[in-house]
Amino acid sequence: MSLIRHIEACNAHDLSRYRPFRVAGQHVGWVAHDFAKRLLGLGDPFEKDGEGVAVMDRHGDFDARTRAVGDAIATLVAERTIHKLRREMYPVLTRWGAEPLLAMDRAAIPYFGIRSFGLHINGIVRRADGPHLWVGRRANDRGVAPGKLDNLVAGGQPLGLTLEENLVKEAREEADLPPELALSARPVGAVTYLMENERGLKPDTLFCYDLELPEDVIPRNTDGEVEAFFLWPVERVMESVRTTDDWKFNVNLVVIDFLIRHGYLGPTDPDYLDLVKGLRR
């Protein structure tokens, strides 16, 4: 089985089903046609903007936009157009590093097709018989990818935290790693994809880190997201990703990126160039 299928799965979408969503004159997302009609039916704070939908200019700053859009989202949740809120706010950005135009509950992000950001940590243990990776199995009660295999640490990037602060928080919650160890993780790039699901579009960016761990450090989940950890040789991880669909959809991409960077996948693979290109769309 080809690894390219994972990249294709994470980039399956049809933009003809969507129209632009704009804030402060900036294109920040995509809304499905039926969802756009519902937003326009709500009226304030949404208005028609050419073929798309925009937040009205009279909500002219971050706080005003956040309040107005938040009230509208609460109405959409009450009528079950949007699933229940996550109570975690994500920034709405034109690009990474820009000032956020507003904040939106994490649950609503895909309905508006807004780019979200997250971080994933590859936990590496160098043993006498070769490098190993820590693999987590997600708990069966998770709303996303229950029971699937995962990285050592992974999490979304909320409003109000730097990447470094979020890395420390997620490493403590998901693997009970102390801050000084988590902060030794090395940033190694990012993976991007544009995926369509039943809620809308997911244009996601995952910041990737490699973290070398001593053999005597055993991860322990503290927030209920992971039910077990396994330490696998890299070759076993590679075989599992290549031949099964046991991994959380976007973790496949992070692992493929790791395999390329560490020389386990090279130009002799017929899909090599497509894999390299496909990880950053």
Q: How many CB atoms lie within 10 A of CB 70?
A: 17
* Side chain identity at residue 191, one-letter code: V
Reported pTM: 0.96
Query: How many angstroms separate the CA atoms of 53 and 46, rounded?
Result: 7
Pick the CATH number of 15-112 from 3.90.1150.10, 3.40.50.300, 3.30.750.160, 3.30.1050.10: 3.30.750.160
pLDDT digits (tens, 9 = 90+) for 13-61: 999 999 999 999 999 999 999 999 999 999 999 999 999 999 999 999 9
The 10s digit of each residue's pLDDT in 171-209 is 999 999 999 999 999 999 999 999 999 999 999 999 999
What is the residue extent of each domain of the chain? 4-10+116-278, 15-112
Query: Residue 281: pLDDT above 90?
Result: no
Q: What is the pLDDT of residue 83?
A: 86
8 Å CB contact between 212 and 26: no
- pLDDT of 69 reads 98
Query: Residues 108-128: pLDDT tens digits?
Result: 999 999 999 999 999 999 999
Was domain 4-10+116-278 assigned CATH 3.90.79.10? yes
Distance CA 275, CA 166 (A): 28
Cis check: omega of the bond before 219, within 30 degrees of 0: no
Residue 110's pLDDT is 97
Mean pLDDT value across residues 127-153? 96
Of 49, 57, 95, 89, nearest to 73 by C-alpha is 89
